[in-house]
A and B are shown apart, each in its own frame.
Chain A
């Protein structure tokens, strides 16, 4: 966390003493009741405002939304948003992470079936494939896209080339999802400074933010074509006063291939059932119409918990600033959209980022 925070402060040319607000996420590897104050003491901060926030995969976007509210309200001037964990290499490692994460399900009505996070999303995938007549190769296309992007991303967890055939050959985890349909469990961190004062680079404003929370458990979802992503997107775009065609770059949560497909479609950036086709046509490549997850997403850049969901925000910011060295999108964009979900498409946070 300290490393990420230091890099963010340097990037924003902000000194420790100028930080008057701190928002942290949570850590499954090292749970703590008071992560925000724990970090503040460790890092040498004495802010006027601090708290942790928990929204699963949507935590990062939720923290940025809250940071803006704090700045807008005048409560804070410069808020540090930070999260990191060694989810892969901590004691217990992958096995312990998988066991902990499965507890997102209902303690009496889901977890007792021996369910895992991949199995919850596999249920969604089975529905998605049946509903739209799509196949496993279509989902594989999404994994291949992320890997293609990650090849140009420093620090990517998975960067070896990957083809649709390679994805299809990986072992089944929870049908129809195979290993390459699932994001890895990674180590990593991310941090932002959200401030009233612009930094040394092209200022990127959070021009709109929206949330939606319609369920927690997958067995409580009534409508498989309305998880809440559409409502959150609409709220964010309305606040920004923008229509979808003004969005030039996307960062969409991709914990599993099917997560990306459902979210890209429900947010309205792909026709229903049309994600794979848009990717095949190159629409989401860095030289395409609307580049998507140019850092490789959770599927290839990696998923270190809260910081994983912050990766999309950092990357869209970098693209808007023209600082995505080696993977900068071909045309410049003024607006980007980031969407994150927590749980099983349970908590939705959408952010519209606008370059000034």
Chain B
């Protein structure tokens, strides 16, 4: 699994949200795997998302999971449906609402590179 994570992260570093597409059944999957989750084929290609989509769920956190997140409170997490037909979790502007069109960018938070939509 490690090379897949490295690929996803290196794309984020270059400013892109990347995903896999199955060359056999054309399924697009955001969570990278060495195979297609629908048909099991092992041949997948990496594509870059255009970075725009629609908010389908949103929350602003006032309670952190751990000490290192406390300094960032409050922060927002959203589920976004990308125009490519993928659903993903991301950070967002706390003001986003469900149904809103948003554009993503990659932000550095702590030592993490994270997609952020506004």
A residues with a Cβ closer than 8 A to B are 98-99, 102, 106, 108-110, 112-116, 118-119, 122-127, 130, 171-177, 217-222, 224
Contacts and interface: CB of A to CB of B under 8 A. Distances in A.
A123 B114 contact: no
Interface residues of B, number: 31
18 contacts: A98-B63, A108-B8, A112-B112, A113-B77, A113-B89, A114-B65, A114-B72, A115-B89, A116-B61, A116-B65, A171-B62, A174-B60, A175-B62, A177-B59, A217-B31, A218-B79, A219-B79, A221-B87
Interface in B67-102: 69, 72, 75, 77-79, 87-91, 98-99
Contacts of A124: 57
B56 A174 contact: no
B66 A109 contact: no
Nearest to A176: B59
Interface in B33-76: 56-66, 69, 72, 75
B65 A174 contact: no
Contacts of A115: 61, 65, 77, 89
Given A115-B89, A119-B77, A126-B57, A173 B112 contact: no
Given A109-B31, A114-B69, A119-B77, A222 B87 contact: yes
Contacts of A112: 112, 114
Most chain A CB inside 10 Å of its own CB: which residue of B64, B89, B109:
B89
A115 B57 CA distance: 14
Most chain A CB inside 10 Å of its own CB: which residue of B56, B72, B79:
B79
B65 A102 contact: yes
Given A108-B5, A109-B89, A113-B90, A174 B62 contact: yes
Nearest to A127: B57
A94 to B, nearest CB: 11
Given A110-B89, A127-B57, A219-B87, A116 B63 contact: yes
B30 interface: yes
Contacts of A173: 61-63
The 10 closest A-B pairs by CB, nearest first: A122-B59, A123-B57, A114-B69, A102-B65, A219-B89, A130-B98, A172-B62, A175-B60, A116-B65, A127-B57
A174 B59 contact: yes
A99 to B, nearest CB: 5
Contacts of A176: 59
A174 B8 contact: no
A106 B31 contact: yes
Contacts of B59: 119, 122-123, 125-126, 174-177
A99 B31 contact: no
B88 A99 contact: no
A174 B61 contact: yes
Nearest to A179: B63
Most chain B CB inside 10 Å of its own CB: which residue of A110, A113, A174, A175:
A113
Contacts of B109: 114
Given A106-B31, A109-B31, A218-B89, A126 B65 contact: no
Nearest to A114: B69
A281 B66 CA distance: 41
Contacts of B90: 113
A119 B92 CA distance: 13
A220 B57 contact: no
Most chain B CB inside 10 Å of its own CB: which residue of A98, A116, A222:
A116
A33 to B, nearest CB: 23
Contacts of B91: 113
Given A106-B31, A122-B59, A116 B64 contact: yes
